[in-house]
Amino acid sequence: NAGVTQTPKFQVLKTGQSMTLQCAQDMNHNSMYWYRQDPGMGLRLIYYSASEGTTDKGEVPNGYNVSRLNKREFSLRLESAAPSQTSVYFCASSQNGIMGETQYFGPGTRLLVL
Amino acid sequence: DAKTTQPNSMESNEEEPVHLPCNHSTISGTDYIHWYRQLPSQGPEYVIHGLTSNVNNRMASLAIAEDRKSSTLILHRATLRDAAVYYCILEGQGAQKLVFGQGTRLTINP
């Protein structure tokens, strides 16, 4: 099993450009998450999807949209990138999104917005 | 969300035990205590979690104080591969999320 995969690994954007970060998991998990990590900081939740067909805002949702395409895939879209969105983006998944569950993280996408 | 307090950094030697402390004085009765670690340039990795009782797994042990206001992650025999940032996280009722602080950067000396 590949676990949680993310594409691309690295991306450079100009201010105002748009892009979509892709995430897929092969563990048959119901819940998926998007986090961002700024230099020297812990992760902050952007959006999550408790189950297929549902999405909810996390701590820092402004400037982002998400799509739970199917059970496997959860994408994050930046409609108009800003330098403040320069960060490392991690996707994660868990079995059912209930308390006490383990989250499994992908390797991350490093995004630089100029 | 209840907060955790961890030392910014710790250092230990290879093949010695490591005790990583975490204070969470505002923990509620239903909060889980999770530990994750993040190796350089990688995503976080689950280490261990518990609610009230001490827990052991193949990676580590988690010792939870009787009043649950603090906990300690124990790596029984550190290796160079254990050098990472370790996050102590409280998961609250209905939170559906893990709130990461800044963690403890653990350095292992050969």
- The Cα B99–Cα B90 span in angstroms is 7
- pLDDT value of residue B53: 92
State which residue of chain A sits closest to B49, comparing Cα positions.
A100
Residue B109 pLDDT > 60, yes or no?
yes
Answer yes or no: are the C-beta atoms of A77 and A65 closer than 8 Å. Answer: yes
Residue A63 pLDDT > 70, yes or no?
yes
- pLDDT value of residue B86: 97
Which member of A45, A106, A107 has the closest CB to residue B97?
A: A45
Residue B87 pLDDT > 70, yes or no?
yes
Angle, CA A78 vertex, CA B94 and CA A60 arms, to 5°: 30
Do A50 and B96 lie within an 8 Å CB cutoff?
yes
Strands (E) located in chain A:
4-7, 10-13, 19-25, 31-37, 43-49, 56-57, 64-68, 74-78, 87-94, 104-105, 109-113
Do A59 and B93 lie within an 8 Å CB cutoff?
no
State which residue of chain A sits closest to B85, comparing Cα positions.
A42
pLDDT, tens digit, 9 for 90 and up, residues B65-84:
999 999 999 999 999 999 99
- pLDDT value of residue B1: 58
**Contact residues on chain B for A103, CB-CB shorter than 8 A:** 36, 44, 46, 98
Confidence of residue A25 (pLDDT cuts 50, 70, 90): very high
**What mean pLDDT do residues A38-62 have?**
92
